[in-house]
Structure 1
Amino acid sequence: MKGSFNLNALLRDNIKKLVPYSSARDEFKGEASVLLDANENAFGSPYREDFHRYPDPLQHRVKEKLSKIKGVPAANIFLGNGSDEAIDLLYRAFCTPGKDNVILVPPTYGMYEVSANINDVAYRKVNLTPDYQLDLDGIAEAIDSQTKLIFICSPNNPTGNSLNRTDIETILVNFDGLVVVDEAYINFSKQPSFTKDLSEFPNLVILQTLSKAWGLAALRLGMAFASEEIITVFNKIKPPYNINQATQNIVLEALDNVDQVNSWIQEIVAEREKLSATLADIAQVAHITPSDANFILVKLEEPRALYNFLVSKGIIVRDRSKVELCEGCLRLTVGTPAENEELVSAVYTFYGATNN
């Protein structure tokens, strides 16, 4: 690895030359009372709320409110249709199909690989170590002059653990491409977010979401935090109205409830520890990876048979037993106390154990 970051050198040539689409609402600033610029239906919507006007293409009000919560300037925030949109934009902006490559560190979130395949970008896998940490030597060996992105999920999915912060910083300092730190589960962790370090690392992109701790998965709103230069690139190539007005309205209201979300986070973490301790007492459970997320990875006997048994009881978990380094494991999301009790009872029933 070497460290000589130059954003312009990373960008694809066609993106450098791209003249972005200019929406009707991009062409004037301020307030207006008569809007006859966007070919909308001026008579309204066949719904109790008016959705006949196009939404704010840059979601200024949502970003301002998020800025206060996250402690990140609004200019350093990108909002997308889930984090998946930001992931796709990273490939489209910085990776030339059939030429460039990225580094993935499995086991990890599957969309990094799917997006690479969609965009015809080669990916090089450097497995995590057996204790689910970064293999710095392996990553250094995998990097070449065409490596543009390194994806790091921390807390990691599906393992649940946080990756060593100093290892991530080592990559940030020594790699001249973009380092994408996916913090979808950061709210459940004691580890600090990398959002406080944006000014220190110009090649850092942080992904977060409102789908987990904020309980807004159905709205599909993801966040990316990066330098103003990188955010400008995202805004240049994103669809003009990528976040609909209904989503913006609901999110603006939801963001007023920080105390409620913090209370849920505390309860979920407490339930996570309780669930882990209870399952650890079962003889057929070999190992539970310490988690900083809202799920646990459990290594146990007969994982596929247990998975099928749980499905028959109407309990759906994630079978990760065929994933490299997660052999024999199920990933269990932490539910409500009642849901967790139902899960534990079913596991005890399957193994013929006694729940004391």
Structure 2
Amino acid sequence: MFELNNLLRENIKNLTPYSSARDEYTGEASVFLDANENAFGSPLETAYNRYPDPLQYRVKMKLSEIKGVPARNIFLGNGSDEAIDILFRSFCNPGVDNVIIVPPTYGMYQVSANINDVEARKVLLTEEYQLDLDGIAEAIDKNTKLIFVCSPNNPTGNSINRDDIETLLANFNGLVIIDEAYINYSRQKTFIQELTEYSNLVVLQTLSKAWGLAGLRVGMAFASEEIIEVMNKVKPPYNMNEASQQLALQALNNVSLVNLWIKETLEERDKLVLNLKEFDFVLDIYPSDANFILVKTTNAKAIYDFLVKHGIIIRDRSKVELCEGCLRITIGTPDENKTLIETLQQYK
């Protein structure tokens, strides 16, 4: 049976978080002489001399409206990568505990495991890029704390079978982290609505993809109030800067524009797939629920090098497990996709 307290590291249970100047008062004020800031302002058009809201309340309230989840169930970080790292630091004892990852998948799970000295047990996806539930069950032991599932998956682009994910959630006593960075492009609905059903569920999302804010580094985690409290306890006091908070708020008022971009991206994805199928060096194009496609080719490195010479950058994934011979291509604008196809027509 899942019990959060049994997962937490002892030092985190006993941790007294840093108390920032902005944590120590409630209500409104007009004179701030508490945080040793520069009272005269900033040498910029916008003043950033004051520390930002440590819990990003206004951004969370806006997200709460859009996502249909209470603000107390939202963690905001410096990209989803910060949320991933905090989960390791909160729940995994270095050199003792382990996590399960399911390659081919997003590389930061392995990197964070290495940084935190936590074993990452690999259970390869099946040939259809779905979970090997039997393999995962065999890999779990008493020290397995986290399972990471990316859906839609990067770099394969497909969504993971929902029933399989629910099987993990119902039977694993640790945390199951569903990384939904590309969920806006997917036919599958988000797992956010299942938070009340599974107390061991953490859902990661981002404003970097469909929302077009990769440069601001705004990542989100959705989980039970107890898990969010742990993450807020461990994070740096001011982990999201004021500029990112202000700009994120502005962007979140433009849902209709983002939805228009998503629709156009999906239309362009379908066109690009049809055009790429015409080339004899393309062996397969895997089904995608994301804003990219995985393309199996006769010679991935040669095609990649050819495109680089013509100023077009894609990702060579041919050395990734189960992605031999594959290139990952992001869906661009209509003009960018046209340039890609016209350039590939010159490839011999």
TM range (shorter): over 0.9
Aligned to 1:142: 139
1:156 aligns with 2:136: no
Aligned amino acid, residue 229 of structure 1: E
Deviates more, 1:335-344 or 1:41-50: 41-50
Q: Which residue of 192, 195, 199 corresponds with 1:198?
A: 195
Deviations 1:335-356 (A, max 9, x none): 00000011111122113xxxxx
Count matched residues: 348
Where in structure 1 are there 5+ consecutive unaligned residues? 352-356
1:225 aligns with 2:191: no
Aligned to 1:291: 288
Q: Which residue of 175, 178, 190 corresponds with 2:175?
A: 178
TM-fit CA distance, 1:33: 1.1
Aligned to 2:109: 112
Q: Secondary structure at the match of 2:178?
A: strand
Q: Secondary structure at the match of 1:40?
A: coil
Aligned to 1:240: 237
Aligned to 1:12: 9
Deviations 1:121-149 (A, max 9, x none): 00100000001000000000000000000
- TM-score, normalized by length of structure 1? 0.97
Aligned to 1:319: 316
For residues 131 and 284 of structure 1, the distance between their equivalents in structure 2, rounded to whole angstroms, comes to: 22
Aligned to 2:339: 342
TM-fit CA distance, 1:41: 1.0
Q: Secondary structure at the match of 1:116?
A: helix
Where in structure 2 are there 5+ consecutive unaligned residues? none
Q: Which residue of 27, 30, 38 corresponds with 2:27?
A: 30
Aligned to 1:76: 73
1:61 aligns with 2:58: yes
Aligned amino acid, residue 115 of structure 2: I
Q: Secondary structure at the match of 1:138?
A: helix
For residues 293 and 316 of structure 1, the distance between their equivalents in structure 2, rounded to whole angstroms, comes to: 18
Aligned to 2:39: 42
Q: Secondary structure at the match of 2:75?
A: strand
Deviations 1:34-73 (A, max 9, x none): 1111111111111111111100000000000011011111
TM-fit CA distance, 1:281: 2.0
Aligned to 1:256: 253
Q: Which residue of 116, 120, 125 corresponds with 1:123?
A: 120
RMSD over equivalenced CA pairs, Å: 0.5
TM-fit CA distance, 1:293: 0.1
Over the matched positions of the two proteins, sequence identity in percent amounts to: 69
- TM-score, normalized by length of structure 2? 0.99
For residues 117 and 145 of structure 1, the distance between their equivalents in structure 2, rounded to whole angstroms, comes to: 20
Aligned amino acid, residue 16 of structure 2: V
